[in-house]
Chain A
Amino acid sequence: MSTSPALRDPATPLWWGTIVLRWVTLAFALGALLVHHSGYDRPGLAWAGFGVMAAWSLVTTLTFARESLRLRSLVVADVVVTCGVMLTSQLVLSDQQFAETAPLVTTVWASVAPLTAGARFGAVGGVLAGLVMAVCTGLARLEVDLDVARDGVLLTASGLLIGITATTARRSQATLAQAMRTEAATAERERLARSIHDSVLQVLARVRRRGAELGGEAAELARLAGEQEIALRALVTTEPSGPADGDADLRAALQLLATPRVQVSGPAGEVRLPATIVTELVAVTKEALSNVERHAGPSAKAWVLLEDLGEDIVLTIRDDGPGIPPGRLEQAEAEGHLGVATSIRGRVNDLGGTSTLETAPGAGTEWEIRLPRPRQRRRGSR
C-alpha cells in the first residue's frame, strides 16, 4: 500500500524490455565473436571488449531494474561505454574483415543504448543517442557507406520511437493521476457537505429562528445567521457543474443566487445547456436582481422561475417592488443612459432569445426571458 500504482514510472515495461534486449544482443555478440575471432588482428582485445559488455550488461540490469536507480548519469554512461567498445573495432578487426563488412565488436548490442536514452529522456534524448551511435559506427569503420547509413537511421528511429512511447505513457499517467485526484476531491466534498448539513446548518437554523423571536440585536444576528444558512445550504446541495462535454446545469447554477429575499424555483431535475449559455443567463439574472436591490428597496422580494419547455427555456425574474413609472425607461434611453434594461435586452438578443419587461407603478417588475434551446442532443422527440 506504500506506493500506489499511480506513482510508478509508467515507462517501467520499456526499461524491462531494454534489459531483456541487452542480454539477447549480448548472446548475439558472443556468437559473432566466436565466428570471427580467428580472423581478428587482436583477438585478446576483442575478448576484453566482450568482457566489458558483459560486465556493463550486469551493471545496467541491476540498476535499471529499479526505478530509483535509473540515473541520468548511468544512461549517459551507457552511451559512452557502448561507443568506447564499438570504437575498439578499429584495432580488433583486420582490413580484410572491414572489406567484408564483418560486424563490429558490439554488433547489435549497440542498439540498446539509444533505447534506454529514449526511455529516460524522451524523444529528443533517444534521437541524440541514436545519432551519437550512428557517428561512432562511421568512425569505427572509418567510412560511410550504405550499411553505416542504414544502421544510423535504425538507431535514431528506435531511440525516437521509444522516446515518444515513454513520454506518452508518462503524460497519460499524469492525466489519470489528475482524474483520480479530482475523484478524491469530489468524495471529500460530499463528505464535507454531509457533515455541514448535520452540524453547522442545524445550529445556524436554530440561531436564526430563536434570534428572530427575541428581537432587537438578536434579530439582527438571526438575519445574518439566516443568510449564511441559505448560502451554505445552496453550496452543499449544488453539484459541482463540471465541464463535462461543455454542458452545465442551469437549475443548480441559479439556485446559488437564492437569498432570504430571493426565491429560486424550477424543475426538480437538471436543465442542461451549453456552459457558455448558462454563464450568460446567470449573469443576466444577477443583473436583474441587482437592479431589484437598487431600485425596489431593501424590503422588496424577488422570485426567479426557470421553466424548461423542451423547445424553449423560459426564465422569469419578478419583484414586488414599486415598479417603474411609464415612460421612465424610454426617457432614460432618450437621455443616453444605457441602463440595466438595455444591457439585459442586448445580452439576451446576443443569445438569440427575446426578453420582455412588464412593469407598472405599484405592481413590481417582471422580466421574461425566452431562449430557444440550442439544437443537438435529445429532447424535441415527438
Chain B
Amino acid sequence: MTVSVMIVDDHPIWRDGVARDLAEHGFDVRATAADADAAVRIARTVRPDVVLMDLNLGDTSGVVATRSITGDLPQTRVLVLSASGEHSDVLEAVKAGASGYLVKSASVRELVEAVHRTADGDPVFTAGLAGMVLGEYRRMADAPAAGEPPPRLTERETDVLRLVAKGLTAKQIADRLVISHRTVENHVQSTLRKLQLHNRVELARYAIEHGLDREED
C-alpha cells in the first residue's frame, strides 16, 4: 500500500525538494503546508499516514501543530525533520506526540527509510534523539515537578537508550545485550510512550488547575 505523506515547512525550496524526493521513491505526497495553522487544517482533511514536520515555522511553532495533529488524528504519525541545533523544540515535539526525529542534513536514503518506519508505527530513534530522551528522564528525576511523579526508565531501557545514543543499530544492540531485535524496538518504543503519556497527563493537570483558578477568581 502506498504511504501518504504531508510536508510542513516554510521554505518552498526545501519543501518542494523533499516532496520530489519522496514522490520519486513511491510515496504519495498528498499535501504540503507552509505554516502550523494550515498544517493542522489540511491534515484534518487529507488524513495522511505521515506528516513531515519542520519546527521552525515562524508564527506558531511546529510543536503546537504536532500536538494538534497527533491529538486529532490517531492514525497519522508525525516525523520531525528539523535543523540540528533545535534541541529543546525537538524534545517538546516528541513529548507532544511526534514519533521520531531526523536532522535536515540526513541523506535521502535515511529519509526514505525513516518515513517507512514511521508509517509502520515504529519510532525513528536517531542517536541524537536518544541522547535528548536520556537527558530528559534524568532532568525529570533530578527536579521532580509537583503533581504526577515523573516516569522512570528501567535499567534495561537505560542500557538500550545509551547504546542507541552511541550510534549502535538495533541489530548491534540486540547482539550486545543478547536480546531479540523486537525487544530492542519495544524498549525504545516504551521510553517514548512513557514520556508522551506523562506529558499529556501534565498538560491535563495544568489545564484543570488553570480552569479551577479562574473559577475561584
Contact = CB atoms under 8 A, between A and B. Distances in A.
Contacts of A266: 87, 131-132, 135
A342 interface: no
A290 interface: no
A210 interface: yes
A379 interface: yes
B21 interface: yes
Interface string A224-246: 00100110011011100000000
B22 to A, nearest CB: 11
Contacts of B83: 197, 201, 233, 237
Mostly helix, strand, loop or mixed at chain A's interface? mixed
For the residues of B in contact with A, the DSSP-based class is helix
Interface in B44-80: 56
Nearest first, the 3 closest Cβ-Cβ pairs linking A and B are A237-B85, A267-B135, A265-B131
Interface stretch (B28-36, B145-153, B159-167, B196-204): B159-167
Interface string B122-162: 00001111111011101100100000000000000000001
Contacts of B166: 303, 305, 316, 318, 366
Given A264-B128, A303-B165, A318-B166, 16 more contacts: A202-B14, A205-B105, A209-B17, A234-B84, A236-B85, A237-B83, A238-B85, A255-B85, A260-B105, A263-B128, A266-B87, A303-B166, A305-B127, A305-B165, A307-B131, A307-B162
B171 to A, nearest CB: 13
A78 B167 CA distance: 78
A301 interface: yes
Nearest to B12: A202
Given A202-B13, A265-B127, A309 B84 contact: no
B123 to A, nearest CB: 15
A52 to B, nearest CB: 72
B113 interface: no
